[in-house]
Structure 1
């Protein structure tokens, strides 16, 4: 599996290159944002490790540029610890956020988790209700025949629910699946993204019948509302 490291700290890049290579990863590196985009286009990495504070183009700009053509998982590795920085990076399309300094074992675990997610499966199902269709293989959502634009985080949320239709998915499970970490505990993120999904996929977002909240527990995707009447 090929990993692109985009960071202007040569010591950190050197340490990561040695460690990741020892664990079987093929590593390429870029020292600034513009070089990261160019190298990503040339090398087609499976996963990107990205610092936010780089010269020429900052990390968020790099994320936005990469998301224009690749779905490769992006892990932000940054010294910025503010929630605003994390939210901005995740909304731009990052899959995970690790703050410096970090434990290498934790970073390796997140790489493994995202690596498994990025491997395409065999036959992927299509989930649909009304005029909404979720194509898990194509990673595509349509409504009324028109493509629905979802952010990467919105896609991961609806994808997990679509893979478990009718099942109560706890908030902690979604937080772990979306951000590949058991340390993320702010379920306010989930409420925000669920609200956005309802606006895009429900007939009446204020009275959802497919994307349901189970109070105090989690969320459930209902294909046939007759089987699970809404409780909200």
Structure 2
């Protein structure tokens, strides 16, 4: 019995070195490795982080493009939007990280990861909830995922929602270099005063639709 006791204690100590992590922790580790900006940077952006989970698939965004992580038995597949000649592609790039390398590099941040996941989940629920009720808090304008994926036509030009750090919210930016819609419409070259006025109304309608309110 002496030997069996010894083996059980030694196996216990070796398993504590191989600390187990949740799928969510592995997913965020993989995002962090892809991001490469360091945990402190991730932490400083926690206030606008949105975190979603569906089975073994996770998604994170900071108000703009999302990145998805699929956690498998031994590795994590990260799919993200990479720049193409005409803007950002839709999940057109991916990378694989093994769980072993992720745990080695980010295992020490387990508590921070859990904290970020909790914060991101709360924000995501708030954002989704705010989209369905008209009383979205005015302090942080919330945009539904559906509204973000739409394009808006103003004076025959196409505008898309883009996250603007300066405003800490989404703004409508022209796909053809027009810039922000509310700045472009009143000064649009080659349009009559009346057309510009209509354009401004289209801008305010588009923003109403985007935020579900004025």
Q: TM-score, normalized by length of structure 1?
A: 0.27
Larger relative contact order (CA 8 Å, sep ≥ 6): 2
TM-score by length of 2: 0.28
Structure number with higher helix proportion? 2
